[in-house]
Amino acid sequence: MLRSCARGPQDALRCALPAALPAVCDRLRECAARIPEAREVLTILEKCTKQQCKGDFPIVVFEGLDATGKTTVTQAVKDALDAVLLRSPPACISQWRTIFDDEPTPIRRAFYAAGNYILASEIAKASTQAPVIVDRYWHSTAAYTIATEINGNVQNLPPVQDGVYQWPEDLLKPDLVLLLTVSPEERARRLEHRGLDKTKEEAEMEANSLFRQRIEESYRRMMNPACQEVDANPSKEEVLKTVLQLIKKHCAL
């Protein structure tokens, strides 16, 4: 049985976003009797969260709304730097994603948060061998949770510097987080061109530009590490050039 912890929207948000590994595990334990896959996720978490020390190679995360070009640019950066490319949620739990996507927000977000901790151990290991490129990590979990739990325009978001924008203290930190942004018109063109089924959130974004604005603004407020914004409207080649320059500037390579 999921314990209720929400009174107002800010409480609901804090309840929906587990801020550290013990809170993620508690949330999964609470629903494990009803959702056997939660127990599977816990088992994987227990095995992999012991060693989270990173290696000497840089860790670069790419964030952004759907169709901003993360898949395209992360693949190109991987090839250019001979890096390891990882994404969240990690492959070992992604087969259960549709189950958790249909659950209430606190359980759904516990799944994605757990994915970030599992991914952290993969990142730590990989960063001893090569640069690591990551397609979505904690900032996505936080930004989408905040934007879902808070309604209306961006003024309703928790204030800048609020604790919800903080990186969890027990989660491996990347060296650089790049936030890809494109204009709503360009993103609509790319979504149409790609022609895949829309996620529930994507359908909501199409209907509600405020939701999209809340996600982007939440990304912009994330701290420690903050996101560095990249204008991803130009061609694939130009975006790759900008991104490689930023990585060279901020990371030892």
Ligand X SMILES: Nc1ncnc2c1ncn2[C@@H]1O[C@H](COP(=O)(O)OP(=O)(O)OP(=O)(O)O)[C@@H](O)[C@H]1O
Q: Which positions lie near ligand X, rule CB under 6 A?
A: 64, 66-72, 190, 193-194, 232, 235-236, 239
How far apart CA 180 and CA 46 sit, in angstroms, is 33
Name which of residues 1 to 60 contact ligand L45E5XJ5 (CB under 6 A): none
Binding-site member from 49, 88, 127, 218 for ligand L45E5XJ5 (CB under 6 A) = 88
Least distance in angstroms from the C-beta of 16 to ligand X: 21
Measure the CA angle with vertex 44, ends 83 and 81; round to 5°.
5
The interface partner of residue 141, options being ligand L45E5XJ5, ligand X, none and the CB cut-off 5 to 8 Å by kind, is ligand L45E5XJ5
Least distance in angstroms from the C-beta of 70 to ligand X: 3
Measure Cα distances from 69 to 5, 145, 186 in Å: 37, 21, 11
How far apart CA 148 and CA 202 sit, in angstroms, is 12
The interface partner of residue 116, options being ligand X, ligand L45E5XJ5, none and the CB cut-off 5 to 8 Å by kind, is ligand L45E5XJ5
Residue 149 touches ligand L45E5XJ5, criterion: CB under 6 A: no
The interface partner of residue 95, options being ligand X, ligand L45E5XJ5, none and the CB cut-off 5 to 8 Å by kind, is none
How far apart CA 214 and CA 227 sit, in angstroms, is 15
Paired sense of beta strands 132-135 and 228-231, if any: unpaired
Q: Taking the C-alpha atoms of 90, 215, 217 and 9 in order, what is their torsion angle to the nearest 10 degrees?
A: -110
Binding-site member from 136, 173, 212, 214 for ligand L45E5XJ5 (CB under 6 A) = 136
The interface partner of residue 140, options being ligand L45E5XJ5, ligand X, none and the CB cut-off 5 to 8 Å by kind, is ligand L45E5XJ5
Residue whose C-alpha is closest to residue 240's, from 71, 48, 106, 16: 71
How far apart CA 160 and CA 226 sit, in angstroms, is 12
Residue 127 touches ligand L45E5XJ5, criterion: CB under 6 A: no
Residues that bind ligand L45E5XJ5 (CB under 6 A): 66, 88-89, 112, 115-116, 136-137, 140-141, 144, 199, 201
